[in-house]
Copies of this chain bind each other. A is one copy, B any other.
């Protein structure tokens, strides 16, 4: 089965945006054995949309289109697809009712524009969208299959996974594809590749991909087999060699994010945490509190940008700051100890650094970050100089802090 993906919306063509829909859908389709042969971004004009649908439906078995299902003038996907299929649009009673209920819940009025979102192509199966207003649509047309999905990633992705994937899996029959993701933090892509490249380079099944972003590296393995056990066995055979090489640097093998790994460790061990962030400005707290249930372990966080706040809120000695500077191992250590003492938690963590673009000196360059742990996960200060711009320095500091927490909680030596 061969598929084509159309991501619809003029805003997607902005050169500053990168397409996230295409890779996400291609990944999902590949996992059920469907090959993607073309992926397009198309502006939302009828003269461009209709030829796109016409061409795609002529050459692909499966066409998935995202976007253009909303209530505005720009949303023309329904009309264009209906015209190409030569079918009418029909207002769906169930979709209308779902829309009405959703609007009522938030006390909004259901305008005629919004009501349009309940229009389905005649013969389409409605794919319920619990996260938004426009439902997806599943349209069989002879040998061809057209699937319309809403554009916002927060709606499209769950809908694809819950409604589309199971149906496609059934359609594709046959071969099973399994994948596994290993995650590492505080390490570079080239370091990981140097270690594991020789292991996977000559292996076609599983296929291995290395991805990295801001101090974290993902190793992705994807294998196919006649059965689930065969595909899993192929992955396990390679991963066990990778484990021999990377050892305890592997933070997760089940796709969990670093914050999920740390949150789980803290929760399981009944340990509590308090953070004192300076240059990361709340980003570490933001990531940890993205995990549901973070209130169990994260007592409090203080973001102490000014020296005065470091003293007032967490009791860092003003003399210490004057002597060593706000970005110093000594101050980081006192931030970790101070916030732990004030909050009465098991663990304290302090981060202070120079995220840039200004504020660097020859001795203390932009990118210099001190991260300190205090308490039951060990006492330790780490000094790093991170490359990249302000946002990269901040993200890398957060990745290292999460890895230090993970290692401390597991009793592993700090790197």
Contact = CB atoms under 8 A, between A and B. Distances in A.
B281 A283 contact: no
Interface string A143-170: 0000000001010000000000000000
Contacts of A10: 37, 207, 209
A306 interface: yes
One complex includes copies of this chain to the number of 2
A190 B113 contact: yes
A302 to B, nearest CB: 5
Name, among A39, A74, A284, the residue most crowded by chain B CB atoms within 10 Å (CB to CB). Answer: A39
B18 A111 contact: no
Contacts of A320: none
Given A210-B74, A281-B286, A302-B301, A390 B189 contact: no
A150 to B, nearest CB: 12
Given A210-B72, A286-B281, A305 B312 contact: no
Interface in A382-415: 385, 387-392, 394
Interface in A244-289: 275, 277, 279-286, 288-289
Interface string A218-252: 00100000000000000000000000000000000
Contacts of A36: 13, 15
Given A14-B209, A15-B23, A295-B306, 4 more contacts: A19-B19, A280-B286, A299-B308, A301-B302
Interface of A: 10-11, 13-19, 22-24, 26-27, 30, 36-43, 45, 47-48, 51-52, 54-55, 58-59, 70-74, 102, 105-106, 111, 113-114, 131, 152, 154, 189-190, 193-194, 197, 201, 207, 209-211, 213, 220, 275, 277, 279-286, 288-290, 292-295, 298-306, 308-309, 312-313, 342-343, 356-358, 385, 387-392, 394
